[in-house]
Amino acid sequence: MSDTSANAVAYVRTETVPASLPPSNAAGPAKWIKENLFAGVGNSILTVLAILAIYLVLSNSMPWILNGIWQAPTLAACREILDGNSGACFAVLSERWHQLLFGFKYPAELYWRPSLAFGLLFVALAPVLFFDLPRKLMIFTGLYPFLAFWLIWGGPIFNPILALVGLIVGYLVFVRLEKSSFALALGGGIVAAVVVWSLSKLIGPDSAILSIGKLDSVQSRDLGGFMLNMMLGVTCVSLSLPLGIALALGRQSSMPLIKYICVIFIEFIRGVPLITLLFVASVMLGYFFPPGSGVDLFIRVVIMITLFSAAYIAEVIRGGLAALPKGQYEAADSLGLDYAQATRLIILPQALKISIPGIVNIAVGLFKDTTLVSVISMFDLVGMIRGPILASTEWNGVYWELFGFAALLFFVVCYGISQYSQWLERRLATDH
């Protein structure tokens, strides 16, 4: 039976057989649908329910949105145009958009100023948010608060410039003294800044210098709408960040007195709702200032919201500090760095990096919480809707269009911030 030896094989295939296509239900969209939508009975039921829910929502809302009326003077006129059909009265938005965005008292001819400040905010934020941009842009970021103050509130340009000069002098003194002692430098810087600021007392009320760069001034109580939310959010987050870092370091401190002051402060603020702190701002905080100083409500609210978010940020940063390996502290000590140097050069850069997602969460939460000021009768976006617009005779009863608009604005901002934070987390990840 030598025929069966390898040499005697009659037929040998010399090329590979092309793989046949998978059965049509195991490839392409059919497979995907089968695996992801109809795998098993329970799964199919879920899919059907989900499709049903989506259909119900869309079939009710789409005609309403697409049928929307954008031009009408009043709700009654809008209903007339709709003639009994389902449809939204977006006319309220085209009619009152300026009130929703700027409040109802901000002078209409000055809208360009907050709008410009809003646009420049992105320029100022860009170098903070994106590290690849040239560092020189940070100079503009430093100037921005003073510029924005001047644009929004108006008045002579002298005040913000004086504040800026005070800060610069303070900073220069700080740099000069920093070599000898951090605490001394900090104290010296503060004293220098205060000295510069108090020089303004020398300038009389009708001095010529006050008429340079004078914009029409706007009172704090005339601010409103989404602009107020943005201002409160941006101001309070940026002010509470340094305060939060200080509180977190204080809470980690080995000095019992400082530690317990920080613990009590943080736990107290975290234990009460923001609304009670806003009540404090509106009815009680005035008592804590010297008689007759009359600090305006906007500043009192900024103080309370800043304290509020500082406590939460402090807890997030404390988490970051606790997550650092002990070796980092010991290594800094063994290099002979003192506390200020070690904290500034070794500890904080790493701890802050770990805390970024948490800090962004707090910032988003805080921005959403700025709507609470409507409870103490400040006319922010929600306050404008509940107050002047829904109470007006023209638009009494327009509910969903307005709240939908407010929800959309907040969603865009908050979702944007959280997407940025996720991008940043990926960017900063140094592990593999």
Partner 1 sequence: MTIITDPPKGSFRLSMLLNDTRYRSLTLQAIAAILLALIIFYLANNVITNLQRLGLNIDFSFLGAPAGYDINQRLIEYTSQSTNLKAAFVGILNTLLVAGLACLMATIFGVLAGVLRLSNNWLVSKLMSFYVEIFRNIPVLIWILIIYGIMTVVMPAPRAFRGEDAEAAMFLGISAFTNRGVYIPGPEFTRIFGEMGILSAGIGWLAAMIVLIGSFFGARTVTQRATRIQEATGVRPSTLVTNLAIWFLPIIGFFIITGLTFEIPELKGFNFKGGIKIGAPLIAIWFALSIYTGAFIAENVRAGIQAVSKGQTEAAAAMGIRPNRIMSLVVLPQALRVIIPPLISQYLNITKNSSLAILVGYADVTATLGGITLNQTGRAIECIVLLMLFYLIISLTISAVVNVYNNSTKLKER
Amino acid at 3: D
Whole-number minimum distance, CB 148 to partner 1, in Å? 24
Nearer to partner 1, 36 or 71 (CB): 36
Locus of tokens 């799964």: 43
**With contact defined as beta carbons under 8 Å apart, do 193 and 167 qualify?**
yes
Whole-number minimum distance, CB 334 to partner 1, in Å? 15
Which residues in this chain contact partner 1 in the complex, by CB under 8 A? 35-37, 39, 43, 46-47, 50-51, 53-54, 181, 254-258, 261, 267-268, 270-276, 279-280, 283-284, 286-291, 364, 368-369, 371-372, 374-375, 382, 386, 397, 399-400, 403, 406-407, 410-411, 414-415, 418
Whole-number minimum distance, CB 117 to partner 1, in Å? 23
Nearer to partner 1, 120 or 340 (CB): 340
Nearer to partner 1, 148 or 185 (CB): 185
Nearer to partner 1, 95 or 369 (CB): 369
Whole-number minimum distance, CB 233 to partner 1, in Å? 11
Q: Give the separation between CA 248 and CA 56, rounded to whole angstroms.
A: 49
Whole-number minimum distance, CB 293 to partner 1, in Å? 9
Q: Give the separation between CA 327 and CA 46, rounded to whole angstroms.
A: 51
Residue 293 CB coordination number (10 Å):
8
Whole-number minimum distance, CB 5 to partner 1, in Å? 47
Nearer to partner 1, 131 or 399 (CB): 399
Whole-number minimum distance, CB 247 to partner 1, in Å? 13
Nearer to partner 1, 169 or 295 (CB): 295
Distance of CA 36 to the CA centre of its chain: 36
Q: Is the backbone of residue 377 left (phi > 0), alpha (psi -120 to 50) or beta?
A: left
Nearer to partner 1, 26 or 199 (CB): 26
